[in-house]
Amino acid sequence: MFDFITDEHKMIQEAARDFAQGEIAPIAAEIDETGEFPMKTIKQMGALGFMGIEVPEEYGGAGMDSLAYALALTEISKACASHGTIMSVHNSLYSYGLVHFGTDEQREKFLRPIVEGHKIGAYSLTEPMSGSDAGNMQSRAVLNEAGTHYIINGTKSWVTSAPVADFVVLFTMTAPEKKHKGITAFLIDANQPGFVLGKKEPKLGIRASATSEVYYENYECPVENRLGEEGQGFKIAMSVLDTGRIGIAAQALGIAEAALDASIAYAKEREAFGQKIGQFQMIQQKLADMKCRVEASRLLMYQAALAKTAAKETGARYTLEASMAKLVASETAMWVTTQAIQIHGGMGYSKEMPLERYFRDAKITEIYEGTSEIQRMVIARNLTGLR
């Protein structure tokens, strides 16, 4: 249908679909209920190449493009949004910064084990008093007198995969008087003294994706583990979030697709007043609107993925395309899952069916990696040039 989707793209999409439906879907409801991190399947995903799709082959990745990543992530998220979140963090938030700003030594130590599935990575930007306003960070990194280590103190919140992470890409202040320009990125070994896990968040959705606070208590980070230069952290974080938003669009699309498929099947099976409910015009209207929104989200996701791939040659930004895809797909996921529950009636509200899980999982896509409000601000600023 689209000539930009190659046989190679189709192969990874089909491989992801087969794995998702064969290995992930059967355990999705259970791990949602227990909140257990799916370590076994995540390591299998690493072995299959799903945890570093855009990472160059020399560092253990698949060396493919953004469209391949988006197609695969959609299939994984369609089976289980928790797996999609973990996959997104590895591919977008963690790996992207290392590929583009790391040294060869850093990539070998901190990147290869992540993309091959041997280690778990996390990304840490948010703080209790600093979400969208990154310039308000309270955590600090101070270079010691010998100039060999940064001493890091502070609290980070909503760190996805922190309870099981081996490595973390951390953003903290080295020059707080400079606000955004005083943020620096670091590569953190979570198994060293001074890295202290806080409470695990009891989340509404994506419950098998472990999330917690992290306390840094005089954590000593070697200078060679600084990612990029001092003060370059905000630039790194924003470039990472651009690519991350394409991942969230793919995750949201997968959730919406799953809810739509379930609704179509139910409309063809469920009978009321002597006919299939899919014969009622109100149900038909819902299904038609759901399909249109899903396909619009897919096209925006494709556009953003292709813009990112083109940017490798031109150096152009793809912030606008990424924000539009993330905004529309996330709000589509929330809207479609709401309609899906309505179509299923009382059964949609029951944990015996996956609709309520899709609904709970969809909500976070409107919040993390930039809320819908932030996406609208980013889009408007790109349109007007005004700040």
Contacts of 276 (CB under 8 A, 6+ apart): 267, 268, 269, 270
CA nearest neighbour of 188 among 145, 140, 241, 152: 152
User: Is residue 94 within 8 Å of residue 101, measured between CB atoms?
Assistant: no
The one-letter code for the residue type at 45 is M
CB distance 207 to 238 below 8 Å: no
- Token pair for 206: 């994506």
CB 142 within 8 A of CB 67: no
Helix or strand run (H / E) with residue 73: helix 66-79
Q: Collapsing DSSP states into helix, strand and coil, what is residue 222?
A: strand
d(CA 305, CA 327): 15
E strands, 110-210, are 121-124, 140-143, 149-160, 167-173, 183-189, 195-200
Helices 7-19 and 66-79 sit at what angle, rounded to 10 degrees?
20
Nearest alpha-carbon partner for 122 in 234, 233, 213, 7 = 213
Specify whether 369 is catalytic: yes
Which residue among 54, 127, 331, 369 is the active-site one? 369
Gap between the Cα atoms of 298 and 253, Å rounded: 7
CA distances from 319 to 72, 95, 296, 310, 315 (A): 22, 18, 18, 13, 12
Residue 312: C-alpha distances to residues 86, 112, 132, 323 (Å): 25, 22, 27, 18
Residues with catalytic roles: 369
